Structure 1
Amino acid sequence: MNRGPGRPANAGQRFRAGRVLGLGRTAAALALCAGLWPAAACATDVNTASVAELDGIRGIGPAMSRRILQARAQAPFTDWQDLIARVPGLGRQSAARLSQEGLTVGGAALAPLPAPLPKASRAGAGTGP
């Protein structure tokens, strides 16, 4: 390749994480899904996931997988609120953790929970001026 002045040696080449880290494609994919890179890259949709895929998400065990699949057999989940309402034992905080681990509903992650108020703000809430 004929490089002009000021053009880096790798100009025009795509970034490949496996090459940079000295990993093959398979090893790079495993590192990605093992949590060494962001979980969003390994999103698992609750409406299409197998038992094994659900069990692979940290925080979902065999019992939760069964409950999810039983509820999904009735109808696909429309959104996170539908998932939380129809799966026994799944609350908003658990759903937030599962979303952080890569679980999605229809490809969408759960919106983050609002930050809790500081204790000083809660103590004065409800008192008048």
Structure 2
Amino acid sequence: MNKRIQTLLGASLVALILGLAPLCAVAQEMEPINVNSADAELLAELPGIGETRAAAIIEDREAKGPYESAEDLTRVSGIGDATVEGLADQVTF
């Protein structure tokens, strides 16, 4: 009988963990990153950016001024329309 209780408790624990998994995913959503104030490390976390493009974004904003929209990121070599579309809801200005 002790084995049955252990099995039941184990199954209940697994069900509880699986039931809470969607809540963890919601808690891990990132806040949008402000491309006019973020450092290279933070910019590199954006999909399709990485370290090299992050440095290029900072260099470009220092040379040409702040970005006003996601489309302005196309000023940076290697960032095209597809990348901008993927970033639209993950960046602010």
TM-score tier by shorter-chain length is: 0.5 to 0.7
Q: 1:24 is matched with which residue?
A: none
Choose from 26, 32, 43 the match for 2:32: 43
Query: Which is richer in helix?
Result: 2
Task: Figure out how many residues of one structure are paired with residues of the other and give that number.
Answer: 70
Choose from 61, 75, 80 the match for 1:91: 80
Do residues 52 (structure 1) and 41 (structure 2) align? Answer: yes
TM-score (norm 2): 0.61
Give 3-state SS (helix, strand or coil) of 1:49's partner. coil
Amino acid across the alignment from 2:84: A
Amino acid across the alignment from 1:103: V
* Structure 1 residue 90, shift from structure 2 partner: 0.8
Identity of aligned residues (%): 27
Amino acid across the alignment from 2:83: S
5+ residue gaps, structure 2, are 1-19
Q: Show CA shifts across 1:101-128 (max 9, x none).
A: x123x2xxxxxxxxxxxxxxxxxxxxxx
Task: State how 1:1-129 maps to structure 2 within 5 Å.
Answer: 36-37=25-26, 39=29, 42-74=31-63, 75-84=65-74, 86-100=75-89, 102-104=90-92, 106=93
Q: Which structure has more RCO (C-alpha within 8 Å, separation ≥ 6)?
A: 2
Over the residues paired in the alignment, what is the CA RMSD in angstroms?
2.3
Summarize the Cα distance change of 1:66–1:87 in structure 2 as closer, same or farther, 3 Å threshold. Answer: same
Q: Where does structure 1 differ by over 4 angstroms across 4 or more consecutive aligned residues? A: none
5+ residue gaps, structure 1, are 1-20, 22-27, 107-129
TM-score (norm 1): 0.46
